Structure 1
Amino acid sequence: MDLAPKQSKSEDLSALKSTAEQRLKNFMQDVTGRALVMMESATQGQQGISMDLVQEAFISLHKSYSDKTTEEWYPLFYTILNNKLQDWRRKEVRRAQPLSFFRKVSLDDDDIELNDVIDESTPDPSSFLDQAVTAEEIQEAIAKLPVRQQQAFMLRAWEGFDTQTTAQIMNCTEGSVKTHYHRAIQGLRTYLAHLNPYLGGSSE
């Protein structure tokens, strides 16, 4: 006869909840810094808004996907964060242009896909830069890019997502991701060329 005490269902649920919360805490510690950098670039340095967007994404992730694995959380979190960012951007456009409420709001001016863009491999963010270029200078250069280019570059280069996953997160085609990513790399090389004479925008 098994004389070991049986755990109650409430104890089991409590243990599962504790485990999920600990996983979320570890996950937040891993991605918060990078997510904030991404949002601060996208919101032109509005730290309060950036923190709100990231926190709301974590809350939504925990509320809807606490049963998913940690690996599944990464693309889910950035998908949620992207959606919240796009909602915020639409509200900002409508606030600045009240009549835009009555028409479709276009957030980006670089959504036209380039033909025959090579699906470039995902580099380390500074792999094509001289070591003399600091992280702050790279971040400043990223902030000068259009938002969708920022997202494509940071999701591919910083988070290491492939083109297909990045497209799912950004809710666009893989061709659009390739275009945004290609233009982002060209833009960064141009913005940082004055810091490194060996860099410079390559011709298309």
Structure 2
Amino acid sequence: MDLAPKHAQSETDTAHSSNVEQRLKFFMQDVTGRALVMMESATSGQQGIAMDLVQEAFISLHRSYADKSTEEWYPLFYTILNNKLQDWRRKEARRASPFSFFRKVSLDDDEEDAIIDVVDDSTPNPLAFLDQAVTVEEIREAIAQLPTRQQQAFMLRAWEGFDTQTTAQIMNCSEGSVKTHYHRAIQGLRKTLSHLNPYLRGSSDEE
């Protein structure tokens, strides 16, 4: 029996596995910080929960999508992370209300009453609407005060740079909802940060 082909295949598999592990390592280094900020805001500062959600998302990504390119990993990872977050929120909602299993648990408590027709730039800058006197840490604290869906829309659009369509896929909602959540997030941030920057006062209605 000729074992050469199998040996060659084994070496190829090992090299491929090593390449995947290396790509995943760099990918994790790139997104972990931002993902943790997003999850800490979404879980009201529960760092342990946030870390668990991010770690579980990485594990699921590696298990199910190791063959995808690094560029494909970004939206896939945040889609998985969003699903992990929604699962956690459902469990928390049911734990807080023991009889909630008799009714549908609504996680979009900040869902818009009506979709606003707003312009949504394709490559927003998280600092573009703020004076440089406002620090990133102050913005992060203000983001934590936003409703969860607004947090997600802002972080995915402004911090991660996803377009509206990709953000809608990650959040499992319509593009109109993303635009509305993002628009309201910016308004909320301007209002929260206006005391730090007088130039922001009265600007929240200009969107």
- TM-score, scaled relative to structure 1: 0.94
Contact 2:61–2:76 (CA under 8 A) maintained in structure 1: yes
Match of 2:45 in 1: 45
Match of 1:153 in 2: 154
Distance 1:156 1:139 in 2: 15
Match of 1:202 in 2: 205
Which deviates more from structure 2 when the two are superposed, residues 120-129 or residues 32-41?
Answer: 120-129
Contact 1:108–1:146 (CA under 8 A) maintained in structure 2: no
Contact 1:57–1:77 (CA under 8 A) maintained in structure 2: yes
Match of 2:28 in 1: 28
Distance 1:92 1:42 in 2: 13
Distance 1:148 1:65 in 2: 26
Distance 2:144 2:62 in 1: 29
Q: Deviations over 1:130-180 (max 9, x none)?
A: 111111110000000000000000000010000000000000000100010
Distance 1:159 1:181 in 2: 13
2:199 is paired with a residue whose SS is: coil
Distance 2:68 2:116 in 1: 37
Which deviates more from structure 2 when the two are superposed, residues 101-110 or residues 156-165?
Answer: 101-110
Distance 2:125 2:96 in 1: 37
Deviation at 1:121, TM superposition (A): 4.3
1:14 aligns with 2:14: yes
Distance 2:10 2:60 in 1: 24
Deviation at 1:11, TM superposition (A): 1.4
Distance 2:190 2:116 in 1: 21
Deviation at 1:115, TM superposition (A): 3.3
Letter in 1 for 2:84: K
Q: Deviations over 1:33-60 (max 9, x none)?
A: 0000000000011000000000000000
1:93 is paired with a residue whose SS is: helix
**Runs of 4 or more off by more than 6 Å in structure 1?**
none
Identical columns (%): 79
Distance 1:53 1:155 in 2: 16
Deviation at 1:9, TM superposition (A): 1.4
Contact 2:168–2:175 (CA under 8 A) maintained in structure 1: yes
Deviation at 1:107, TM superposition (A): 1.4
Q: Matched residue pairs, number?
A: 200
Deviation at 1:12, TM superposition (A): 1.1
Which deviates more from structure 2 when the two are superposed, residues 48-57 or residues 193-202?
Answer: 193-202
Q: Deviations over 1:77-133 (max 9, x none)?
A: 000000000000110011001111111111122212323222244321111111111
RMSD of aligned residue pairs (Cα, Å): 1.4
Distance 1:40 1:11 in 2: 42
1:125 is paired with a residue whose SS is: coil
Letter in 2 for 1:151: Q
Match of 1:165 in 2: 166
Mind listing any 5+ residue stretches in structure 1 that lack a counterpart? none
